[in-house]
Amino acid sequence: MDSFTRESFKGNPAGVCILDKAAPENWMQNIAMEMNLSETAFVYPEDNGFQLRWFTPTTEVELCGHATLATAHILFETGILKSHETARFFTRSGLLTVIFKGKFLEMNFPATPAFPCDVPELLGDVLENIPVIAIAKNDFDLLVEVDSDKKIKTLQPDFTLMKNIDARGIIVTSRAANSNFDFVSRFFAPRVGINEDPVTGSAHCTLGPYWGKKLKRSKMTAYQASSRGGVIQVELAGDRVLLSGEAVTVLQLNLV
């Protein structure tokens, strides 16, 4: 599936493997490596919902937005869940839910706000010394605000050097020049096997609180400015963030 888009071959591709029961971790990791997507999700029924896990080609991750959206999309599309039902996922980040809201799928995720931090020593070299307005960090990622979305779109980071910065990934963000959006971003995570993630739901659990405070808004439209591009609707809800988007199915296959 392609997530955070209404067009095939845009947004962020995710693999979704629907299982009858739990599978061995090494098997799931090997499948994710074979798929070679930023994340492959594995889902199977459990109690009043589904167990959901996410793997990059090299490791299991704590939280993934686009693969959760893709999983909900295929469960609704295939009729495993009806459109009026709530998708309930038990994950390493707690209970996550997804509902239909208009034409969008709305995910209820934990907010992961970032707090001001010192500038990592290598950051300038990693990010081509672009001018930085603010730097913040949470348990997962480093957030770097810059002064121009044009600089974000043309940025070519040093991924080898980036692996030496102590963070799962680096979110680079700015206000949007395009009036259709409130802010733009890109997300880089070579330490977990993803040089650039095309559209990153979990990063918006951090971007939402950050820009909500700066813009004094609880509802925002975000654009992730990768080569594929993707649009995320962001709504703040206390210690939660509601992330909405669309998804399309591109291909289906059977594992042998």
Cβ proximity of 41 and 70 under 8 Å: yes
Say yes or no to pLDDT of 226 above 90: yes
E-assigned strand segments in the chain: 2-3, 12-13, 15-18, 40-46, 49-55, 60-61, 87-91, 94-101, 104-110, 115-116, 132-137, 141-146, 169-175, 183-189, 194-197, 219-224, 230-237, 240-245, 247-248
Q: Average pLDDT for residues 213-236, to the nearest whole number?
A: 97
Cβ proximity of 235 and 242 under 8 Å: yes
- Element (H or E) spanning 26, and its range? helix 25-35
Closest to 107 in 3D by CA, of 235, 218, 215, 18: 235
Show the tokens assigned to 109: 């995720």
Tell me the per-residue pLDDT of 25-76, one tens digit each, with 9 for 90 and over: 999 999 999 999 999 999 999 999 999 999 999 999 999 999 999 999 999 9
DSSP 89-122: EEETTEEEEEEEETTEEEEEEE----EE-PPPTT
C-alpha separations of 200 from 49, 78, 172, 184 in Å: 24, 24, 12, 12
Cβ proximity of 164 and 158 under 8 Å: no
**Could you tell me the pLDDT band of residue 102, with boundaries at 50, 70 and 90?**
confident
Q: What is the pTM of this model?
A: 0.92
**Bridge partners (DSSP) listed for residue 240:** 110, 237
39 is annotated as an active-site residue = yes
Closest to 52 in 3D by CA, of 37, 62, 41: 41
Distance, in Å, from the CA atom of 106 to the CA atom of 99, rounded to the nearest integer, reads: 5
* CATH class (in words) of the domain with range 115-240: alpha beta
pLDDT on residue 253 = 86
Query: From the candidates 7, 25, 39, 246, which is the catalytic residue?
Result: 39
What are the start and end residues of each CATH 3.10.310.10 domain in the chain? 2-110+243-248, 115-240
Task: Name, in order, each residue with C-beta under 8 angstroms of 2's C-beta and a sequence gap of 6 or more.
Answer: 8, 9, 10, 11, 12, 13, 14, 70, 247, 248, 250
Distance, in Å, from the CA atom of 74 to the CA atom of 235, rounded to the nearest integer, reads: 24
| Chain centroid offset of residue 197 CA | 8
Tell me the per-residue pLDDT of 168-188, one tens digit each, with 9 for 90 and over: 999 999 999 999 999 999 999
Compute the mean pLDDT over every residue in the chain, rounded to the nearest whole number: 95
Distance, in Å, from the CA atom of 131 to the CA atom of 121, rounded to the nearest integer, reads: 15
* CATH class (in words) of the domain with range 2-110+243-248: alpha beta
